[in-house]
């Protein structure tokens, strides 16, 4: 696996695919700069070696060239975080881009315009990738968030750098962290899978059964399992067509000696609202007209006990509707348990949009071992699928 440390960038132009797909408010101010901070180490390494940096990224889902999706809006934020002046060019291929790159001196950084202003980017167009490739001597992929897409800038471009391509610092860490859970783990290993639907986690469940000792299940997907086992779930979220699948997963886990932990009690509400009436009941005895929106206190204790004994922890998905204060306690308690285990030497990896949001919201970011920057990409890796952006560097 070639990384930044395999190259000296002195006098070289590094073409870096970063993931600067960051949220902006109505005034085009970046509201969460996590992904820009994540790209900083790779950029600094190239500059300190005496090279220059050409950054390419997408932003949003533009239909053609739309000003609101221009990367010019984030230049100031990138400068502030990297601590170096950042040039900007209003295109990512063609004469303008080539001229701007030709003028680049060692120690300088240039940001290209949004790759997705061209439909060829998402199509994985060979000629478009070739034009991008002309803008650098060495290609670095540091965009984990898009590594599962076979786009021109994440995958196709790599073939024009047969010897001169590598993973950036961020992408290297992502691969190492997921490998640490899937292939290199210290037992016991616990995976926490939350979120709304069993269907979105089937691939992960099936792939990790051979690699973990415990699986904690939370969120809306709980109730598909509880109903499959004959429980009363009231108006809770359920996938009626996945009841047999839930039973099959439980049977397979038993066969492989993996303990599945389902919530034993739930915080239920009579409406999907922070102001609803709430009470705590057994998960399999939810009355009609009520729905489970968080785990109960007994469940939190049981889960915390499992986590305390774990040496490797994967957290993908919250335990309840944490965005509403009334239903956030289970997710917060879980975060506390993971933070405590981490402080005692466990390795903890958090990934997937909602669990990352929860970790940030409740201040656990620095209390876990690693927070992944890619939701879809991480899920596909956990499912055991090869990611095109990673394969392109390895091949």
Residues belonging to the binding site for ATP are: 201, 292, 323, 352-355
DSSP string covering 30-90? BS--HHHHHHHHHHHHHHHHT-EEEEE---S--SSS-GGG-GGGGHHHHHHHHTS-EEEES
Token output for 199: 């269907």
Q: What is the maximum span of the chain, computed from C-alpha positions, in angstroms?
A: 70
Whole-number Å distance between alpha carbons of 308 and 214: 12
- Give just the sign of the alpha carbon dihedral 339, 341, 344, 347: negative
Q: Which residues are catalytic?
A: 35, 197, 353, 376
Is 55 exposed, middle or buried, given 0-12, 13-18 or 19+ CB atoms closer than 10 A? buried
Whole-number Å distance between alpha carbons of 364 and 339: 7
Which among 41, 15, 10 is positioned nearest to 106, based on CA atoms? 10
Residue 210: half-sphere exposure toward Cβ, Cα within 13 Å: 8
Binding site residue list for (2R)-3-phosphoglycerate? 35, 116, 149
Scored b (16 or more CB within 10 A) or e, 267-293 reads: bbbeeeeeebebeebebbebeeebbbb
| β-pairing verdict for 165-167 and 138-141 | parallel
Which among 306, 376, 298 is positioned nearest to 330, based on CA atoms? 298
**Strand-pair partners of 282:** 265
207 three-class SS: helix
Which among 392, 366, 385 is positioned nearest to 171, based on CA atoms? 392
Binding site residue list? 19-21, 35, 58-61, 116, 149, 201, 292, 323, 352-355
**CB of 182 closer than 8 Å to CB of 206:** no
**Strand-pair partners of 15:** 54, 139
């Amino acid at each position: 696996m070639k990384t930044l440390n395999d190259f000296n960038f002195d006098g070289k132009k590094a073409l870096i695919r970063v993931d600067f797909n960051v949220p902006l408010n109505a005034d085009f101010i970046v509201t969460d700069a996590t992904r820009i901070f994540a790209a900083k180490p790779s950029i600094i390494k190239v500059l300190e070696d005496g090279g220059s940096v050409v950054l390419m990224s997408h932003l949003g889902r533009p239909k053609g060239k739309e000003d609101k999706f221009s990367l010019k809006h984030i230049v100031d934020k990138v400068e502030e975080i990297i601590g170096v002046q950042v040039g900007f060019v209003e295109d990512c291929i063609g004469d303008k881009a080539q001229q701007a790159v030709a003028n680049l001196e060692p120690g300088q950084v240039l940001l290209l315009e949004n790759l997705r202003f061209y439909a060829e980017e998402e199509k994985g167009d060979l000629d478009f990738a070739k034009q991008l490739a002309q803008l650098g001597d060495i290609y670095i992929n540091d965009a984990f968030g898009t590594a599962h897409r076979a786009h021109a800038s994440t995958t196709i471009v790599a073939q024009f750098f047969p010897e001169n391509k590598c993973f950036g610092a961020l992408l290297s860490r992502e691969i190492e962290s997921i490998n640490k859970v899937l292939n290199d783990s210290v037992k016991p290993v616990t995976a926490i899978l939350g979120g709304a639907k069993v269907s979105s986690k089937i691939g992960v469940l099936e792939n990790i059964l051979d690699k973990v000792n415990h699986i904690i299940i939370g969120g809306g997907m709980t109730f598909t399992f509880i109903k499959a086992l004959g429980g009363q779930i009231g108006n809770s979220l359920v996938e009626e067509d996945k009841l047999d699948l839930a039973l099959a997963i439980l049977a397979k886990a038993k066969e492989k000696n993996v303990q599945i932990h389902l919530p034993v009690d739930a915080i239920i509400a009579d409406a999907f609202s922070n102001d609803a009436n709430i009470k705590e009941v057994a998960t399999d005895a939810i009355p009609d007209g009520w729905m489970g929106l968080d785990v109960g206190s007994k469940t939190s204790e049981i889960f915390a006990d499992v986590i305390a004994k774990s040496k490797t922890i994967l957290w993908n998905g919250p335990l309840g509707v944490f965005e509403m204060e009334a239903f956030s306690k289970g997710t917060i308690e879980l975060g506390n348990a993971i933070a405590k285990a981490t402080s005692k030497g466990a390795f903890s990896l958090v990934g997937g949009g909602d669990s990352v949001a929860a970790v940030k919201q409740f201040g656990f970011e620095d209390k876990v071992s690693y927070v992944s920057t890619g939701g879809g990409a991480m899920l596909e890796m956990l499912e055991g699928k090869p990611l095109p952006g990673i394969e392109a560097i390895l091949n």
